[in-house]
């Protein structure tokens, strides 16, 4: 497994691959987030300075309030966004990254708190020096906070539409033989079913042969039972036929 791949196996014995974010993209996201934090901190202390000048409040009180609020912004920024934006901060959202728990599950409250409290260690001696070293050493580019919280940062998959799925699969399918067996009744399939079949056909060239055969067999058996069609010994060809039939039905419906 390369550092760019993180593969998990679901209870159904289906392997899913995540593209682990590299150091470069993570540093770009960190620069965006650090800039936003710096702007928020500057606005905070400017506001407190104005309040102190108006109210004649004691300098020690204003300083204490500023330090407390500054700390809350510095560490609460990441935690708040990761929990409300499902593992994304503004910088990660801009670059297309997301924090997930190991196993592909969404990040938890505990995981977010741990990884961000240890951020101060990763930042040392400056500009995430220790964190970058840890990411170079770790096979999944995790900093110390990720290791402690059992999290990792992955690349976000772009949103797709059913139209884009149809177009991309049509380009990848081999030419149809014209056999009338391609005219399968696929009315029982949902767009989500089609999306699953699309993902397999789109990614099959990148799968290891045993994984490709296993996934094709799972999909073929499911289609055989659901659509009452013959498997004909090659589940991958059945998937192609069903996809063609779904595309034909959709064009006719349109």
- Say what the pTM is: 0.59
CA dihedral 78, 116, 96, 143 (to 10 degrees): 160
Among residues 121, 155, 189, which one ends one of the domains?
155
Domain match, 111 and 49 both: yes
Q: Would you say residue 48 lies in a domain? A: yes
Q: Please check whether residue 149 lies inside any domain of the structure.
A: yes
> Where among 105, 125, 155 does a domain terminate?
155
What's the rounded Cα separation, in Å, for the pair 14 and 12? 6
pLDDT score recorded for residue 121: 92
191 and 206 co-located in one domain = yes
State the DSSP string of the chain. --TTEEEEE-TTS-EEEEEB--HHHHHHHHHHHHHHHHHHHHHHHHHHHHHHHHHT--HHHHHHHHHHHHHHHHHHHHHHHHHHTTS--HHHHHHTEEEEETTSPBPPHHHHHHHHHTHHHHHTTTTTHHHHHHHHHSTT---HHHHHHTEEEEEPPPP--HHHHHHHHHHHSPPP---GGG----TT--HHHHHHHHHHHHHGGGS-HHHHHHHHHHHHHHHHHHHT---TT-HHHHHHHHHHHHHHHHHHH-
Identify whether residues 22 and 91 lie together within a single domain.
yes
CA distances (Å), origin 158, targets 48, 97, 161, 176: 42, 10, 10, 29
Whether 227 and 125 map to the same domain: the answer is: no
Task: Examine the domain organization and report whether 151 and 166 are in the same domain.
Answer: no
For residue 233, give its domain range: 162-249
Identify whether 189 is part of a domain. yes
**Contact criterion met (CB below 8 Å) for 30 and 91:** yes
Give yes or no: residues 72 and 135 share one domain: yes
User: How high is the pLDDT of residue 189?
Assistant: 82
- Do 132 and 203 have their domain in common? no
Same domain, 15 and 99: yes
Question: pLDDT value at position 162?
Answer: 47
Together in a domain, 67 and 168: no
Q: Is the dihedral of CA 126, 38, 111, 23 positive or negative?
A: negative
Q: What is the pLDDT along the chain (254 residues), one digit of tens a residue?
A: 344 566 665 554 555 667 888 888 898 999 999 999 999 999 988 888 887 777 766 677 778 888 889 888 988 999 999 999 999 999 999 999 999 998 778 899 999 999 999 998 988 887 788 988 998 898 888 999 999 999 999 987 655 444 444 455 455 555 555 554 456 788 888 887 788 887 788 878 877 788 788 888 888 888 888 887 776 778 888 888 888 888 887 777 65
């Amino acid at each position: 497994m390369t550092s760019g791949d993180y593969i998990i196996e679901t209870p159904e014995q289906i392997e899913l691959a995540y593209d682990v974010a590299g150091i470069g993209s993570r540093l770009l996201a960190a620069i965006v987030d650090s800039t936003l934090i710096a702007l928020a901190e500057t606005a905070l202390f400017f506001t407190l300075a104005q309040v102190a000048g108006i109210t004649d409040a004691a300098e020690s009180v204003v300083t204490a309030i500023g330090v407390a609020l500054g700390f809350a912004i510095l560490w609460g920024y990441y935690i708040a966004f990761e929990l409300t934006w499902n593992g994304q901060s503004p910088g990660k959202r801009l670059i297309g990254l997301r924090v997930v728990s190991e196993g592909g599950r969404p990040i938890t409250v505990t995981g977010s708190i741990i990884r961000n409290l240890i951020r101060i260690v990763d930042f040392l001696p400056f500009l995430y020096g220790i964190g970058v070293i840890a990411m170079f050493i770790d096979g999944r580019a995790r900093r110390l906070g990720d290791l402690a919280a059992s999290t990792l940062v992955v690349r976000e998959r772009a949103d797709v539409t059913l139209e884009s799925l149809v177009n991309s699969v049509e380009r990848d399918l081999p030419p149809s033989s014209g056999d009338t067996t391609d005219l399968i009744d696929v009315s029982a399939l949902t767009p989500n079913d089609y999306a699953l079949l699309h993902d397999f056909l789109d990614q099959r060239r990148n799968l290891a042969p045993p994984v490709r055969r296993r996934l094709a067999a799972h999909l073929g058996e499911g289609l055989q039972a659901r659509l009452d069609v013959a498997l004909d010994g090659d589940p991958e060809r059945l998937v192609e036929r069903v996809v063609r039939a779904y595309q034909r039905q959709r064009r006719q419906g349109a």
